[in-house]
Amino acid sequence: MSATGQKPAYELLGLKEKEYRGICDAMGREPNYTELAVFSLMWSEHCGYKHSRPLLKNLPTEGERILQGPGENAGIIDIGDGLAIAMKIESHNHPSAIEPFQGAATGIGGIVRDIFAMGARPIANLDPLHFGSLEKPRQKYLLEGVVEGIAAYGNCMGIPTIAGEIHFEDAYEGNCLINVMCVGLVEQDKILRAKAEGPGNLVLLFGSTTGRDGIGGASILASAEFDETAQEKRPTVQVGDPFTEKKLLEACLEMRDKGLLVALQDLGAAGLSSSSSEMASKGGVGIDMDISRVPLREQGMEPFEIMISESQERMLAVVTPELKDEALAVCEKWDLDAVIIGKVTDTKRLRVFLGEEMVADMPVDALVDDAPTYIVEAVRPAHEVDEPLAEDHYRLPSDLNETLTTLLRSPNICDKRWVYEQYDHMVQTNNALWPGGEAAVLRIKGRRSGVALTTDGNGRRCYLDPRRGARAAVAEAARNLSCTGAKPLAVTNCLNFGNPEKGEIYHQFKEAVEGMAEACEAFETPVTGGNVSFYNESFGQAIYPNPVVGMMGLVEDVSLIGTTAFQDEGDTVLLLGNARAAIDGSEYQLRIDGEVAGRIPDVDLEMEKKLQLLVREAILEGLVKSAHDVSDGGLACCLAESAIAGGRGAVIELGTDQRPDLLLFGEAPGLIVVTVAKNDLEHFAQLALDLPVSVIGRVEGDRLVIRAGGADQVNLPVEQAAQAWGAALEALVHG
């Protein structure tokens, strides 16, 4: 605090005193305000990854199909025949909690730019979302605003939103999680990178004009907890324009096709500051910029405002002098503001001019590579225990029909059609499998093969055991892909946590990253990049630790896709796996007893790999008629969902080694329900060899009947189950 009682400028910009001293050391002098503002963004948690960089190194990032791992705008995965998939997931949590429509819309805009910055045409969006209880009016407001924002931006750009997930729990009441993933298709010889090269080459800024929207978004908004001042941060939320982004996309891809680009980078968090310095760092060069040339939408903007503005729909490119005019002509064709604002140098410095006056001179390495990192002493939270709760901790419900119906109505399990039908999920006409199943599958026109995509995250399980929970999230994402017949290839992740400066949060993050690394190694699905979102706390209350996994896989033949729906009368119902289900961390525990406690079962990664391989091989041989993994709500909800999807009932006979409610509603990773025709049962058994496979029933009639202990525990008309499952979410939102 200064003698006048005011905080020093560096503290107002989100920097600690020792960080300010580090900036002075790197500069060899005290920075001026523009330089300090740039450093505050580049050394923020959002841009500098101060608490996560040392731990993220533990994630596997290489593989035979990985053409580009972390460090670029998006990861690139080889899918054969000269084609590749670009994919990335990021968060827009804090902006969406302040202004849900624009927060979600600009989240879509930012992740889409990451994809076409790699030279890829976006072909799909996915949206894993987490909110507080829908019993709270504000949570309904956030849900409706976020869904509307995603729909408005994605639909306008003609990019289908094809998959995702939605969870509702009290832990997200103060901080909703709005994660967005984008996937693009690119010819391998047209992949672009954000690596500035060639001293004397020119720096081209094009797209929208620059205003004051989003100033401080990466430091003031995204790198701090929420408190009573949260709504005062509303001006830091960016404003999106999807029509301009569509033009920007087409201009970038046209310049790519004409070979006009040396490098391409989007202006996201920290605006010109990050895009220019990161491009320079990757190329080992410097950049000089004259920001008096930047097209502005507001008068009187200060140099620091121009440098850190996060106005949307802007790109920075490096072009050769010889091709400058042709690049500018493409921008003019697409009605985009475009201007040469600088050049590449050999100085390894970012120098900013306002006409003839130099207003900032900073070493690139200090901005990008030398942000401080912190190791916090990890403290295991008291709620993490080593033993699961005893089975007799809970009373046995008197009516399991009613219990199943209650779970089917749960907003975490019920039909999400009310959400995804607001998205144009059919545009581009690549869908081989519609939303609502295990994963989305997209055709690649002109090929038999396709791409399967899914997201998965369960903060409740990670709260109880972050290592096991993260392993389970990766395993479930892989299981979802395998149930369509797709071989999992790669992961992109969005790691959502509270304040990492607290020992308990740091422990959760460390354990989750290590668990994710173990699972990705086991499934041979390298992490190609992603995002870390810290400080998801309100008034000191953190969200559940939630590492969200985005995964893609390759389908050899889209005509042989597995679905969740029961198919034909008389088909045999099989349960694959021998994992023992438990109540701890389950939806049953939350909905019936209202608590989150105990310890979740661990995933057997080796058994998972074998079972998933079996399912994929059986699908490709045409043996499997439906496949559905057992997850939220346990075996009973899995069976009910397959019955609802197919409009057919089933008669199920289960063992008696557990209480009926544990058998039906307990959860454990590693269980899959498949159906096969009676005539194919022997062939399937030959494929399975010694893997745990049990015949548990048959597809039959129009009721779901589940027997255990010699009695019908569930006997429910499929139509009644469908009504409970299908109408719940819209009723919760509008009722």
Q: What is the DSSP string of 73-116?
A: SSEEEEEETTEEEEEEEEE-HHHHHHSHHHHHHHHHHHHHHHHH
Instruction: Single out the residue of 242, 352, 240, 214 nearest to residue 290, CA to CA.
Output: 352
Q: Which residues on adjacent β-strands are paired with residue 533?
A: 496
Q: What is the DSSP string of 535-601?
A: --EETTEEPPPEEEEEEEEEES-GGG---SS--STTPEEEEE--PPPBSTT-HHIIIII----S-PP
Q: Is 175 helix (H, G, I), strand (E, B) or coil?
A: coil
CA distance 309 to 59: 32
For Cα atoms 130, 131, 137, give the angle at the middle one, nearest 5 degrees: 160
> 684: which 2 tokens?
């399937």
Told to judge if 46 belongs to the known catalytic residues of this protein, a careful annotator would answer: yes
> 136: which 2 tokens?
């709270």
Instruction: Single out the residue of 19, 23, 41, 43 nearest to residue 31, CA to CA.
Output: 23
For 497, phi then psi, to 5°, come to: -145, 175
| Residues contacting residue 434 through CB under 8 Å, at least 6 positions apart | 425, 440
> 358: which 2 tokens?
């130099």
529 and 181 in contact (C-beta within 8 Å)?
Answer: no
Q: What is the DSSP string of 273-304?
A: HHHHHHHHHHHT-EEEEEGGGS-BSSTT--HH
CA distance 167 to 154: 21
438 and 478 in contact (C-beta within 8 Å)?
Answer: no
Q: Is 711 helix (H, G, I), strand (E, B) or coil?
A: strand
Name the pairing type of β-strands 703-708 and 650-653.
Answer: parallel
381 and 545 in contact (C-beta within 8 Å)?
Answer: no
Integer CA distances (angstroms), 260 to 16, 190, 313, 320, 325, in order? 42, 11, 20, 8, 10
CA distance 464 to 679: 44
C-beta neighbour count of 449 within 10 angstroms: 16
Task: Considering the candidates 46, 94, 167, 425, report the single residue annotated as catalytic.
Answer: 46
100 and 149 in contact (C-beta within 8 Å)?
Answer: yes
Integer CA distances (angstroms), 355 to 14, 178, 288, 319, 359, in order? 29, 40, 12, 21, 10
54 and 156 in contact (C-beta within 8 Å)?
Answer: no
Task: Considering the candidates 51, 92, 425, 507, report the single residue annotated as catalytic.
Answer: 92
Q: Is 365 helix (H, G, I), strand (E, B) or coil?
A: helix
> 563: which 2 tokens?
């679905």
Q: Which residues are catalytic?
A: 46, 92
